[in-house]
């Protein structure tokens, strides 16, 4: 399977409580997965393990059947994944277009081609007309779309979105989540932590976490 967890448990230090417990999970290419669960149930920790940001205290993370080791994680995390966070993280003095280009530029793409791809993604998520505007002058929903365009432009295998609509009103939530899901390139999966049942309803699969354990939607 493309992205696999086997017996994954995590705690933030020896003697600390286990916050992710015994998780076995298989996630395919192009899958649309909602991650639901109460605050503190381990959604952010699980996303960061899936995205190779956190090395689990126990168990294995496998990409295409190969265990990911701490040494090889750094490179793969930027080629295989892109992130969208709850609070839009953007360079506020840079324009929407520059922000949407960032991950491509970080990967070594030429500026002109990165800008061309980013401009197309800004159009796709409905903020093409704001391309030249500095990020600091954008609304929360507009800025979150720029962050989504940045993730889409990178065409990663998976976009990991951690409550990306948590700060937005309901109408904007639906628009922004539609931009994320419908706009993704073929083959790009989305794993989205969300409290919004309507957002989850649009996903092919809903994984539910309680106290760090998967209680529904696990397995292959």
Ligand X SMILES: Nc1ncnc2c1ncn2[C@@H]1O[C@H](COP(=O)(O)OP(=O)(O)O)[C@@H](O)[C@H]1O
Binding site for ligand X (CB under 6 A): 12, 19, 37, 39-45
Q: Which is nearer to ligand X, 44 or 165 (CB)?
A: 44
Q: Which is nearer to Mg ion, 43 or 77 (CB)?
A: 43
Note whether 142 and 88 are within 8 A (CB): no
Residue with CB nearest Mg ion?
44
Nearest distance from C-beta of residue 141 to ligand X, angstroms: 22
44 near Mg ion, rule: CB under 5 A: yes
The residues near 25 (Cβ < 8 Å, ≥ 6 apart) are: 3, 4, 5, 8, 207, 214, 218, 219
Supply the DSSP string of 50-119, one letter for each residue.
HTTSS--SEEEEEETTEEPPHHHHHHHHHHHEEEE-SS----TTSBHHHHHHHHHHHTT--HHHHHHHHH
Given ligand X, Mg ion, none, residue 45, with its beta carbon under 5 to 8 Å by kind, binds ligand X
41 near Mg ion, rule: CB under 5 A: no
Nearest distance from C-beta of residue 88 to ligand X, angstroms: 18
Q: Give residues in contact with Mg ion (CB under 5 A).
A: 43-44
């Amino acid at each position: 399977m493309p992205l696999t967890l086997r017996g994954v448990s995590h705690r933030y230090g020896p003697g600390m409580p286990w916050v992710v417990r015994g998780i076995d999970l298989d996630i395919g290419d192009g899958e649309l997965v909602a991650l639901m669960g109460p605050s503190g149930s381990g959604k952010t920790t699980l996303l960061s393990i899936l995205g190779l940001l956190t090395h689990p205290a126990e168990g294995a993370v496998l990409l295409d059947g190969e265990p990911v080791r701490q040494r090889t994680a750094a490179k793969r995390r930027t080629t295989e994944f892109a992130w969208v966070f709850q609070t839009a993280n953007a360079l506020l003095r840079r324009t929407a277009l520059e922000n949407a280009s960032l991950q491509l530029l970080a990967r070594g793409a030429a500026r002109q081609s990165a800008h061309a791809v980013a401009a197309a993604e800004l159009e796709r998520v409905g903020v093409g007309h704001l391309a030249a505007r500095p990020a600091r002058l954008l609304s929360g929903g507009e800025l979150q779309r720029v962050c989504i365009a940045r993730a889409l432009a990178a065409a990663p295998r998976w976009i990991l979105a951690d409550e990306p609509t948590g700060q937005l009103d309901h109408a904007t939530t639906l628009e922004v989540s539609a931009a994320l899901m419908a706009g993704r390139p073929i083959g790009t999966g989305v794993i989205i932590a969300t409290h919004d049942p309507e957002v989850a309803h649009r996903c092919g699969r809903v994984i539910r976490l309680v106290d760090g354990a998967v209680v529904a939607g696990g397995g292959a």
